[in-house]
Amino acid sequence: MGRAFLYVILGGGVAAGYAALEFTRRGIGHGELCIISEEPVAPYERPALSKGFLLPEDPARLPSFHTCVGAHEERLTPKWYKEHGIELVLGTRVMSADVRRQTLLTSSGETISYKTLIIATGARALKLEEFGVMGSDAPNVCYLRNLADASRLVNVMQSAAGGKAVVIGGGYIGMECAASLVTNKISVTMVFPEEHIMARLFTPTIAAFYEDYYSSKGVEFIKGTVLSSLETNSLGQVVAVNLKDGRRLPADMVVVGIGIRPNTMLFEGQLTIDEKNGGIKVDAKMQTSNRSVYAVGDVASFPLPLLGSRNRRLEHVDCARKSAIHVVSSIMDPKDTGNFDYLPFFYSRVFTLSWQFYGDNAGEVVHFGDLSSFQGPFGAYWVNGKGQIVGAFLEGGSKDEYEAIARICRVQPVVGDRLDLASRGLEFAVSG
Ligand code: FDA
Ligand code: NAD
């Protein structure tokens, strides 16, 4: 049994949704595009899972956050795909791929062939077992990558109401879930190995602001250690988390956010993999080492002009959206499509706080603004060895202010006096 399509998108997440919209804008015929996804629902805005989906009141539920609402575009419901003649093969895992034969074998035993393939398989959450700790399958241990995880997390939160949660990991999932748990009246202890939260992006100064804010909401931090085991009761539920430093933390539930790995497995040995950054290596058109195959989103390692076109893999929604739009342009209009000239953009919203970051967080850091109150706005610039601003972070900015820091990171002006930059702060970007 088998079907053939002109275009196949493997993976039905954020990138798939934005690519589908772009295909229809550029004009495709009915029956030309197929999306295959392991998830049982049409592509949706994954960021909603750690924010609106976890709210105690009036939580976001599908179909409200199908792509492409996150970029204020059309909302692509299953009906939309049908109307546009796009085949959605949902609840179906691709088990193997043969890039030479241009075929994919699905979990239902079907062989789907393509003329052009876009790999948009995203990433999987790392498991505790990969760090030598057992117990991920306990009923009150939660991960958060997809809708099924989020629904489970909501159920576990409800059964742990008024109780204690231990959050493992001080990254994005840890930060956003800790805030949601507190909002759901569950007390939180966060455990992570670094000296401060969000160590991949925040400076110690920026981290201190958020840690103080979280502490004011009752969150406790245990830094510089990791867990050694999960203690369970006779029902298999976790009742405590034991730490390497000897401490024992009683827990009604555990949330784990210890990073991700890109889903490259199907293509290892067939396409060039970027061993350093992880991910499938693509060029500035998002084309892999096979001319019929492209990759986008979390799974793709692409050249970043800001880094002198060295490859980087980004794990953020804006990159998934824009790389998806770019790949469709590369495929359908190769002559008029330039290189993917991407400016990294990350953001988060927790409690009533909200920040944005643009560019690269490398080099000397110049902080600005009021870090001592919970008011903001405050932020930081990153200045490279040539004295150019290459990155900027801002908490509590307005739309115009965020646009201004993005612009500065594109223009990369040379700055002289760092003290002057610190005192001019946001004004430097806004007036620049
Ligand atoms: P994505 O993970 O969205 O989709 C991959 C799809 O491929 C999934 O549907 C998966 O099931 C499917 N798939 C994988 N292997 C398959 C196979 N073999 N067969 C069939 N299907 C397969 N970013 C940000 O900038 N701001 C934010 O606030 C957030 N918030 C956030 C919250 C949470 C809870 C998560 C998990 C992530 C975020 N992110 C984020 C990150 C952002 O969501 C992420 O970068 C994008 O979803 C990446 O989009 P992709 O399409 O590449 O992968
Ligand atoms: P992360 O890389 O942001 O953070 C991982 C954290 O895990 C590290 O900060 C570290 O503290 C911790 N850690 C690593 N090994 C550990 C161990 N053995 N024990 C305890 N802690 C350990 O990853 P994440 O928070 O799991 O997020 C997963 C993905 O979801 C990322 O790609 C992220 O970009 C994405 N995401 C993004 C946003 C956003 O952009 N606002 C929000 C949610 C999720």
Segment 197-200 long-range contacts (CB within 8 Å, at least 24 positions apart) = 197/170, 197/171, 197/221, 198/170, 198/171, 198/172, 199/170, 199/171, 200/171
Q: Which of 261, 266, 264 is nearest to 99 (CA)?
A: 266
∠ at Cα 407 (381, 401), nearest 5°?
75
| Residue to mutate (ligand 2; options 192, 241, 256; most atoms within 8 A of CB) | 192
What is the Cα–Cα distance from 187 to 47, expressed in whole angstroms?
Answer: 23
Rounded Cα gap, residues 388 and 56, in angstroms:
44
Cβ atoms of 296 and 312 closer than 8 Å: no
Out of 126, 315, 345, mutate this one to test ligand 2's pocket (max ligand atoms within 8 Å of CB): namely 315
- Kindly give the number of the ligand 1 atom that is closest to the alpha carbon of 348: 28
Contacts 24+ apart (CB under 8 A), 264-269: 264/121, 264/299, 266/10, 266/94, 266/96, 266/97, 266/121, 267/97, 267/99, 267/119, 267/293
Supply 23's token pair.
Answer: 């295909």
Here the tokens at position 158 are: 């409800």
Between the CA atoms of 394, 397, 400 and 404, what dihedral angle is there, to the nearest 10 degrees?
-20
Q: Is the peptide bond before 68 cis (omega within 30 degrees of 0)?
A: yes
pTM (2 decimals)? Answer: 0.98
Instruction: Tell me the ipTM for this assembly.
Output: 0.99
DSSP state of 291: T
Instruction: Give residue 135's region: left, alpha or beta (phi > 0; psi -120 to 50).
Output: left
HSE (CB half, 13 Å, CA atoms) of 167?
28
What residues does 36 pair with on adjacent strands? 10, 89
Domain architecture of the chain: domains with CATH:
2-123+261-332 (3.50.50.60), 128-258 (3.50.50.60), 352-431 (3.30.390.30)
- Residue 2 is classified by DSSP as E
Residue 229: what pLDDT?
Answer: 98
Task: Write b or e for each residue in 170-183: b if 16 or more Cβ atoms lie within 10 A of its Cβ, otherwise e.
Answer: bbbbbbbbbbbbbb
Task: Kindly state the tokens that stand for 136.
Answer: 């991920």
Listed in sequence order, the residues at least 6 apart from 275 whose beta carbon sits closer than 8 Å to its beta carbon are none
Using 70 as the pLDDT threshold, list the residues of the chain that sit under it.
376
> Residues lining ligand 2, CB < 6 A?
50, 131, 168-174, 176, 192-194, 199-200, 226, 257-260, 315-316, 346, 348
The residue whose C-alpha atom lies closest to atom 18 belonging to ligand 1 is: 94
Pairing of strands 345-350, 353-359: antiparallel
CA of 123 to the centre of ligand 2 (A): 12
Ligand 2 centroid to 24 CA: how many Å?
34
DSSP state of 383: E
Decide: 240 and 211 in contact? Cβ < 8 Å: no
